[in-house]
Structure 1
Amino acid sequence: MRLLHTFKAVLWAFFGVRKRSGYEEDLGKLSPFAIIGVALVLVLLFIGGLIALVNWVV
């Protein structure tokens, strides 16, 4: 459940829409290492998706 909460927090951060109270709650509950790990995985998936989209269009 904590991993799912971490994914949710990182996705909200990617979009940049988050209430300050939600941010402060996440800051107290989540591990910085988990946030960094999930963010790296999501960035790699995003980049891979962009590369696949460009290859499909071209």
Structure 2
Amino acid sequence: MGVTPEPHDPLQRKASFAQTVRAVLWSFIGLRKGSEHETDMARLNPVHVIIAGLIAAALFVAILIGIVKTVVG
């Protein structure tokens, strides 16, 4: 009798990394429907969410630094 993984097991979630990045970017700007959020929570891999969030935050900071350097001189 084998043990089947739960559907909420992070290793069994079906969203691609690109879908995770899309969800994280929409969350960054705050334009998410509640129903989309609930759907994403059921299929996004938490590890992918953390990685995508860190990458997006680093890009955001790099863009801000570039803008400030361009404006200041």
Shorter-chain TM range is over 0.9
Unaligned stretches of 5+ in structure 1?
A: none
For residue 40 of structure 2, what is the aligned residue in structure 1?
Answer: 26
Unaligned stretches of 5+ in structure 2?
A: 1-14
1:1-58 Cα offsets, whole Å, 9 max, x none, are: 7111001100111111111110011001011111011000000000001001100111
For residue 16 of structure 1, what is the aligned residue in structure 2?
Answer: 30
Q: Distance in 1 between matches of 2:52 and 2:39?
A: 18
Q: How does 1:1-58 map to 2 (within 5 A)?
A: 2-58=16-72
Report the identity percentage. Answer: 40
Q: Distance in 1 between matches of 2:29 and 2:68?
A: 22
- RMSD in angstroms over aligned alpha carbons? 1.1
Q: Distance in 2 between matches of 1:57 and 1:23?
A: 37
Q: Which 4+ residue blocks in structure 1 deviate beyond 3 angstroms? A: none
Radius of gyration: which is bigger?
2
| Number of aligned residue pairs | 58
